[in-house]
Amino acid sequence: MKVKQHFCFLATFYLLLAINTIVLAQAQIIKPTGCDPCKNNELVELVKLDSTIQLDIRYATDNNFVGKAVYPQPRAFLQRPAAEALLSAHRWLKEQGYGLIVYDAYRPWTITKLFWDITPPDKRVFVADPSTGSIHNRGCAVDVGLYELCTGLDVEMTSDYDEMTERSFITYKGGTVEQRARRDILRIAMEREGYFFVYPEEWWYYDFKDFRDYGILDIPFSAIAPPGESKKSESGLTR
């Protein structure tokens, strides 16, 4: 009887030890707090500032590297100063015959944690470490591409959006001359006034210069603002 009790005690002990180990391992990655003090959060919805910005929010669809929708709605938000800087880039691009497509902007921290967990270690250069948080979590990063004003269609770059290969690097010398030229004009538009700078491994990903002034956020889209009605673009067409 005593032997059975001893084994029961050991089994319980090792089970509790295993559970405690798992809990400790999970606790190593917690939501970071960000700056202290931080600027006031003022996330604004991009299409409400300018309806000619196109949205292709891949994370609200199954057309992304996760293979399923992780956003409940196809919406894009930035902190107001970053949003205003993006609008300036968009207006400059119109003079060149292009407009901006937004693939992603503000991203709740919970989604950054999900991306990290499902990405193989050798591909994690393409995702943010949740222990420090993503600049997307601060509302100060945006993923963008180009569309042609004359057709309204998006243009090809050297890689697909969110492609985890060297073709996504801003210095990639492959692809066609036209693809590289469009990638470069996007960079000129985003960096010309000094508000944004590109992430070298992803031609589409730009950080706002003052991102350190804002905290890590985990606010769902529905808590920022209710979805608005579709607005009319300058051409009179709804988007």
Burial of 102 (0-12, 13-18, 19+ CB in 10 A): buried
Active-site residue, from 84, 202, 229, 234: 202
Classify residue 198: in a domain, yes or no.
yes
Q: What is the residue type of 171?
A: T
Return the pLDDT at 199: 96
Note the pLDDT of residue 128: 87
Residue 202 is predicted with a pLDDT of 96
- Mean pLDDT per 10-residue interval, the chain, length 239 residues: 43 38 40 83 95 96 92 96 98 97 97 92 88 94 98 96 95 97 98 97 97 94 72 33
193 carries an active-site annotation: no
In a domain, 66, yes or no: yes
**Domain-embedded: residue 92:** yes
User: 3-class secondary structure for 105-169?
Assistant: CCCCHHHHHHHHHHCCHHHHHHCCCCCCCCHHHHCCEEEEEEEECCCCCECCCCCCCCCCCHHHC
Express each pLDDT in 169-181 by its tens digit: 999 999 999 999 9
Give this prediction's pTM.
0.80
Q: Per the domain annotation, does 109 fall within a domain?
A: yes
> Is 148 among the domain residues?
yes
**In CATH, what number is assigned to the domain containing residue 59?**
3.30.1380.10
Q: How many domains are there within the chain? A: 1
Residues 208 and 141: beta-carbon distance below 8 Å: yes
User: 78 is in which domain, residue-wise?
Assistant: 31-224
Residues 6+ apart with CB under 8 A from 149: 94, 97, 98, 99
Residue 200 has a pLDDT of 96
Q: What is the pLDDT of residue 19?
A: 33
